[in-house]
Amino acid sequence: IGNAVIVTGGAGFIGSHTAKLLAGRGFQPVVYDNLSTGHRAAVRWGDLIEGDILDTPKLIDALEEYRPVAVVHFAASAYVGESVKEPGKYYRNNVEGTLSLLDACRMAGIPRVIFSSSCATYGIPDHLPVREQDAQCPINPYGRTKLIAEQMLADYWAAYDLRYVSLRYFNACGADLDGELGETHDPETHLIPRALMAAAGTIHSLEIYGGDYDTPDGTCIRDYIHVVDLARAHVLAVEWLAGGGSNLSVNLGTGHGTSVREILRAIGRLTGRAVPFVMRDRREGDPPVLYADPALAAKTLGFETACSDLDTIIRTAAPFFGLEPRT
């Protein structure tokens, strides 16, 4: 087995952090990205192949050229709201795109794939903390496309022995600990970047989507996991598959939840800037409370979070929004 790893979507937020950590562990990351939402400047730890995952022949060429030990597959469309308005884009990129990748792997004889899945595959959970064996009933097209891709992986493993790890991310946030990579989505819809933009005065105020939930402070609760922890889990998954592992789906979260108001308070405390906000109606499709049971990732991959405390999340993200965290 060589040491190349193809990283589809490696010019994006989680993909670029993963490429950096792969390089640090002695792998050769090779980013395959169409740069539709990713950034060329984020590809700094290996080659960039500019290509679309729907282009199966181009993928096969890349796989045959590098003969990677595994493919880490991030490339996808990832806005829940957009997926409701433009489901075709999501079924095309996320379902057909993953199918194209799996077929390319099969044809090139590359037998290991790590897949970016999501807690959105659970929908409104019937059990907390969410365990992997709990029902997956997604409530929006984005979550459905991720669930279908997970099911394709299981079927390709059973039929063709294509080995896989599906990583179900909870809320990715934070930024590179050395300040080399940040979160730059356009448009930016995620809570922590938007709250930092409001604190910095880049946007007028943060809209809080609902203060009347049945939670202690009325706002939604999520499991925020630092992008560097997420990235490290991918490296562990590559090593797990290379070591003979075959099929696994695990949650990546911290095991505890944080409310929107708690995020705002932490930003105020750590940056010295209050987050101006307006209270809005609930956003459609938002589960009130979502946090992971992280035990299976610990048991199988040896994965534990190391930098997903709120302080580290906000301190690493703040500089990308023009804020100096307090010392």
Of 92 and 283, nearer to ligand UDP (C-beta) is: 283
Q: How far is the CB of 20 from ligand UDP (least distance, A)?
A: 23
Task: Give the whole-angstrom CA distance, residue 123 versus residue 136.
Answer: 7
Are the beta carbons of 249 and 165 closer than 8 angstroms? Answer: yes
Q: How far is the CB of 229 from ligand UDP (least distance, A)?
A: 16
10 is written with which tokens? 């490696």
Of 131 and 190, nearer to ligand UDP (C-beta) is: 190
Q: Write the CA distances from 254 to 57, 129, 138, 157, 287, integer angstroms.
A: 39, 10, 21, 28, 18
- Work out the number of other CB atoms within 10 angstroms of the CB of residue 277: 18
User: CA-based Rg of the chain, rounded to a whole angstrom?
Assistant: 19
The answer to whether 142 is a known catalytic residue is yes
- Work out the number of other CB atoms within 10 angstroms of the CB of residue 152: 18
Q: Write the CA distances from 325 to 54, 171, 185, integer angstroms.
A: 42, 21, 21
The residue type at 249: S
Q: How far is the CB of 124 from ligand UDP (least distance, A)?
A: 12
Q: Where are the alpha helices (DSSP H) in 67-190?
A: 80-85, 87-90, 97-108, 141-160
Q: How far is the CB of 38 from ligand UDP (least distance, A)?
A: 19
Of 34 and 118, nearer to ligand UDP (C-beta) is: 118
Of 82 and 286, nearer to ligand UDP (C-beta) is: 286
Return the closest-CA partner of residue 7 out of 24, 26, 37, 28: 28
**C-alpha of 204 from chain center:** 28
Q: How far is the CB of 208 from ligand UDP (least distance, A)?
A: 4
Of 67 and 280, nearer to ligand UDP (C-beta) is: 280
Question: Shortest Cβ contact with ligand UDP: which residue?
Answer: 220
Q: How far is the CB of 189 from ligand UDP (least distance, A)?
A: 5
Q: How far is the CB of 104 from ligand UDP (least distance, A)?
A: 29
Of 28 and 258, nearer to ligand UDP (C-beta) is: 258
Of 56 and 215, nearer to ligand UDP (C-beta) is: 215
Are the beta carbons of 44 and 21 closer than 8 angstroms? Answer: no
Q: Which one of 32, 142, 156, 291 is the catalytic residue?
A: 142
Q: Write the CA distances from 276 to 190, 203, 205, 264, 267, integer angstroms.
A: 16, 9, 5, 9, 11
DSSP 281: P
Q: What is the greatest pairwise CA distance in the chain?
A: 56
Chain residues that interact with ligand UDP, rule: CB under 6 A: 80, 171, 189-191, 194, 206-209, 220, 222, 260, 283, 286
Tell me the catalytic residues: 142
